[in-house]
């Protein structure tokens, strides 16, 4: 069974609680009223039986021949059936009564008034026996209680309807109440989602200072404040460290370059050491550049300079620039766009996105990389395919985290990057109101897809 | 198991509901406290010791004639039948056999039914009709009976006679 939401469970609890309480009250009401009605009715019938018995006794004493007509008139007047037993003689009032319907327990020569409610053909019948010792007879009265059953049926129907109505009312009240009571939780969940998506400016209102909700809001806001302070501190630290490292690194790189000019004069072992040094310094410089870039993004200090640019031309220039600057192999560029599409991006950052994706594809692929432009979902896609081992579906979200090393990183190649390349791609694309995803590539490896919204040419 | 639980609960609820709708029944007769019964109804004060009744017999010309007699109370059909069969005044006769016996009699308005267990030969038409005429005349005077049914329990045969016949 699917797990119900908290609101669903609370509503259900309200409904069940209302149903249980209303059922208890309805049951008490029904049985109480039924007891009163039945007792009252039986008392009334007993009184009637006493009156009839007195009349029968009088008739038997004075004029026995008048007894049959007396019983008939009694039956007509009281809607009951009367019988009189004189030894083995039964005298009936109407054809409805029958001595056979008198239970055997009533046929003894008792000296006390007895009564019993029995069921005859699904109808309750009250039988009363009044002994008349003065005339050595017994008077029996049979009274069908079908009308009483009808009354009780109607009463039960009303009570059941009341119970249903109360249960429904309880469910409705529960739903209304829980909606209001749980609204702050929904707000908190929404705020948490926004924070998770990077909106660190979001805060919860705390307009009821002494309520539990206000305590929750204050705790949430405090948590976000702490998070923001921590992120600021980390960004500042990364920025400061990068700044401090950049100058000595530049010196180191220049020194290595000077040494490279005299590479021919060096001993072979020294040449190899210089080669390793040059490579590592370049990697180190790239890492510092990435760190600085990402620190600026986190701190929000690097303002975007968006321009509306034709995508075909922009991607072509970026691919050429990346190929030249990073000495990458030639990359095939395909366009499947039906017409010229324009996007609003910061040129420098978009070039960084393309460069990082190409570097990533060449680093972890087997050498074949293509860039394809497609129209999709009201925007355009820049798909970078490689023929490497691909990325497992479970890791496709996480490779955009900073310094994330997936299980396939070593499998996908011996080379290693800074661990910030794809994180920067994700950050920049988000700032262009786009998204980046990973799918299977038709080349057999992975396909990095950057989706961007299109804009009208010439718009700002 | 849970698939069976819902119908079982529904059935139980339906049974409870139907039980609730009935007037509660009594498993056995309940005695009413004698204090609650109107005084005098249950005591034997004023008990009538005897009653004067009309009895019809046959005379020498085989005509029905009426006689009165006092018999012990209560006045029952069984008493009347025994009286007609066994206490015949001198000079008169009866069509009822001295061995006649009845199990019960039911009076319903102006119609009575007597269930005879012995001493009544419904096959003997002449004697049976004579006995029926004697009985219905006696019943008419004492109970206002217009129609008499006599059922011979032995063979289940029922004879009917109107009081206008004699």
Q: Where in chain A is the domain with CATH 1.10.287.130?
A: 212-299
Chain A residues in contact with B108 (beta carbon < 8 A) = 68, 91-92, 94-95
- Edge-to-edge order in the sheet of strand B101-108: B30-31, A114-120, A123-132, A137-144, A81-86, A89-92, B101-108, B111-118, B147-152, B157-162
Q: What is the DSSP string of B11-55?
A: HHHHHHHHHHHSPPP-SS-EEPPGGGSPTTSSS-TT---EEEEEE
Out of B31, B41, B75, closest to residue A50 by CB: B41
Which residue on chain A is closest to B142 by alpha carbon? A65
Cβ separation B74–A106 shorter than 8 A? no
Chain A residues in contact with B15 (beta carbon < 8 A) = none
Which residue on chain A is closest to B31 by alpha carbon? A114
Chain B residues in contact with A94 (beta carbon < 8 A) = 108-109
Chain B residues in contact with A133 (beta carbon < 8 A) = 42-44, 47
Please tell me which residue, A346 or A410, carries the higher pLDDT value: A346
Cβ separation A134–B29 shorter than 8 A? no
Task: Say what percent of chain A tops pLDDT 70.
Answer: 93
In this prediction, residue B56 carries a pLDDT of: 94
Cβ atoms within 10 A of the Cβ of B51, count?
A: 18
Cβ separation B42–A152 shorter than 8 A? no
pLDDT digits (tens, 9 = 90+) for A95-141: 555 677 777 777 776 788 999 998 888 888 899 999 988 888 899 99
Which residue on chain A is closest to B108 by alpha carbon? A92
Closest CA to B138 of B90, B91, B87: B87
Q: Which whole number is the average pLDDT over A176-203?
A: 84
Q: What is the largest CA-CA distance in chain A?
A: 159
Q: Model confidence at A286, in pLDDT bands (50, 70, 90)? A: confident
Q: Which whole number is the average pLDDT over B120-144?
A: 84
* Topology of domain A306-455, CATH: Heat Shock Protein 90 (3.30.565)
Cβ separation A69–B30 shorter than 8 A? no
CATH node for A6-152: 3.30.450
Q: Model confidence at B44, in pLDDT bands (50, 70, 90)? A: low
Q: Where in chain A is the domain with CATH 3.30.450?
A: 6-152
- pTM, to two decimals: 0.55
Q: β-pairing, A446-455 with B30-31? A: unpaired
Q: β-pairing, A332-335 with A306-310? A: unpaired
What CA–CA distance (Å, rounded) separates A170 from A383?
Answer: 56
Which residue on chain A is closest to B110 by alpha carbon? A68
Q: Which whole number is the average pLDDT over A311-327?
A: 91
In this prediction, residue B4 carries a pLDDT of: 55
Tell me what the pLDDT averaged over chain B comes to.
Answer: 82
Q: Is the dihedral of CA A140, B24, B39, A105 positive or negative?
A: positive
User: Nearest-CA distance from B58 to chain A in Å?
Assistant: 23
User: Is residue B165 classed exposed, middle or buried when 0-12, 13-18 and 19+ CB atoms within 10 A define those classes?
Assistant: exposed
Q: Which residues contact A228 (CB under 8 A, 6 or more apart)?
A: A200
Chain B residues in contact with A145 (beta carbon < 8 A) = 23
- In this model, does residue A412 exceed pLDDT 50? no
Q: Which whole number is the average pLDDT over B58-70?
A: 91
- In this model, does residue A45 exceed pLDDT 70? yes
User: Nearest-CA distance from B90 to chain A in Å?
Assistant: 27
Q: Where in chain A is the domain with CATH 3.30.565.10?
A: 306-455
Q: Model confidence at A1, in pLDDT bands (50, 70, 90)? A: very low
Please tell me which residue, B115 or A76, carries the higher pLDDT value: B115
Q: Model confidence at B26, in pLDDT bands (50, 70, 90)? A: confident
Out of B21, B143, B144, closest to residue A152 by CB: B21
ipTM for the complex shown: 0.74
Cβ atoms within 10 A of the Cβ of A73, count?
A: 14
A residues 7-36 near B, CB within 8 Å? 30-31, 34
User: Nearest-CA distance from A155 to chain B in Å?
Assistant: 9
Prior bond of B74 cis (ω within 30°): yes
Write down the domain spans for chain B. 50-162
In this prediction, residue A409 carries a pLDDT of: 57
Cβ separation B107–A90 shorter than 8 A? yes
Query: Which helix or strand (DSSP H or E) is residue A379 part of?
Result: strand A379-386
Tell me how many degrees the CA angle B133-B136-B137 measures, rounded to the nearest 5: 85
In this prediction, residue A2 carries a pLDDT of: 52
What CA–CA distance (Å, rounded) separates A370 from A446?
Answer: 11
- In this model, does residue A199 exceed pLDDT 70? yes
CB B146 within 8 A of CB B166: no
Which residue on chain A is closest to B112 by alpha carbon? A91
Q: Mean pLDDT lowest for which of A92-96, A296-300, B37-41, B57-61?
A: A92-96
Which residue on chain A is closest to B107 by alpha carbon? A91
Q: Mean pLDDT lowest for which of A136-140, A260-264, A401-405?
A: A401-405
In this prediction, residue B55 carries a pLDDT of: 93
* Domain A212-299 in CATH 1.10.287.130: yes
Q: β-pairing, B50-58 with B30-31? A: unpaired
Cβ separation B74–A87 shorter than 8 A? yes
User: Is residue B129 classed exposed, middle or buried when 0-12, 13-18 and 19+ CB atoms within 10 A define those classes?
Assistant: middle
């Amino acid at each position: 069974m699917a797990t119900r939401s908290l609101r669903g469970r609370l509503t259900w609890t309200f409904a069940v609680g209302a149903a249980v309480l209303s059922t208890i009250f309805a049951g008490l009401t029904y049985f109480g009223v039924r007891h009163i009605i039945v007792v009252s009715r039986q008392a009334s019938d007993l009184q009637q039986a006493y009156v009839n018995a007195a009349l029968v006794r009088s008739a038997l004493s004075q004029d026995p021949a008048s007894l049959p007509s007396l019983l008939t008139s009694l039956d007509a007047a009281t809607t009951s059936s009367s019988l009189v037993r004189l030894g083995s003689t039964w005298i009936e009032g109407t054809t409805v009564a029958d001595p056979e319907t008198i239970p055997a327990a009533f046929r003894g020569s008792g000296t006390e008034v007895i009564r019993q409610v029995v069921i005859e053909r699904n109808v309750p019948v009250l039988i009363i026996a009044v002994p008349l010792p003065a005339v050595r007879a017994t008077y029996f009265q049979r009274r069908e209680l079908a009308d009483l059953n009808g009354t009780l049926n109607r009463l039960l129907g009303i009570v059941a309807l009341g119970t249903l109505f109360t249960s429904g009312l309880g469910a409705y009240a529960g739903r209304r109440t829980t909606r209001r009571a749980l609204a702050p939780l929904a707000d908190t969940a929404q705020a948490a989602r926004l924070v998770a998506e990077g909106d660190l400016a979001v805060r919860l209102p705390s307009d009821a200072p002494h309520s539990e909700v206000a305590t929750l809001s204050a705790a949430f806001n405090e948590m976000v404040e702490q998070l923001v302070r921590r992120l600021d501190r980390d960004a500042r630290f990364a920025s400061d460290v990068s700044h401090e490292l950049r100058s000595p690194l530049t010196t180191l790189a220049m020194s290595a370059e000077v040494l490279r000019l005299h590479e021919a004069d060096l001993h072979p072992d020294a040449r190899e050491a210089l080669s390793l040094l040059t490579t590592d310094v370049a990697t180190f410089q790239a890492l510092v550049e990435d760190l600085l870039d990402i620190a600026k993004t986190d701190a929000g200090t690097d303002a975007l300079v968006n321009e509306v640019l034709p995508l075909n031309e922009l991607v072509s220039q970026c691919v050429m620039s990346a190929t030249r600057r990073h000495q990458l192999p030639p990359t095939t560029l395909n366009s499947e766009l039906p017409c010229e599409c324009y996007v609003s991006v910061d040129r420098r950052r978009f070039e960084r996105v393309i460069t990082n994706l190409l570097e990533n594809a060449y680093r972890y692929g087997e050498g074949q990389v293509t860039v394809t432009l497609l129209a999709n979902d009201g925007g355009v896609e820049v798909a970078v395919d490689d023929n490497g081992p691909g990325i497992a579906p479970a890791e496709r979200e996480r490779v955009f985290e900073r310094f994330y090393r997936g299980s396939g990183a070593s499998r996908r190649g011996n080379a290693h990057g800074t661990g910030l390349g794809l994180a920067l791609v994700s950050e920049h694309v988000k700032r262009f109101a786009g998204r980046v995803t990973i799918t299977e590539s038709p080349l057999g490896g992975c396909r990095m897809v950057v989706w961007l919204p299109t804009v009208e040419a010439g718009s700002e | 198991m849970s698939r069976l639980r819902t119908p079982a609960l529904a059935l139980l609820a339906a049974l409870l509901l139907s039980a609730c709708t009935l007037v509660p029944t009594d498993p056995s007769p309940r005695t009413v406290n004698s204090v609650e019964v109107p005084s005098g109804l249950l005591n034997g004060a004023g008990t009538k010791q005897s009653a004067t009744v009309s009895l019809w017999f046959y005379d020498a010309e085989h005509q029905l004639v009426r006689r009165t007699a006092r018999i012990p109370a209560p006045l029952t059909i069984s008493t009347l039948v025994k009286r007609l069969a066994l206490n015949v005044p001198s000079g008169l006769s009866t069509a009822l056999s001295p061995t006649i016996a009845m199990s019960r009699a039911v009076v319903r308005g102006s119609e009575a039914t007597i269930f005879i267990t012995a001493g009544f030969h419904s096959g003997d038409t002449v004697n049976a009709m004579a006995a029926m005429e004697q009985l219905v005349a006696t019943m008419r005077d004492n109970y206002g009976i217009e129609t008499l049914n006599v059922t011979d329990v032995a063979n289940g045969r029922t004879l009917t006679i109107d009081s206008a016949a004699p």
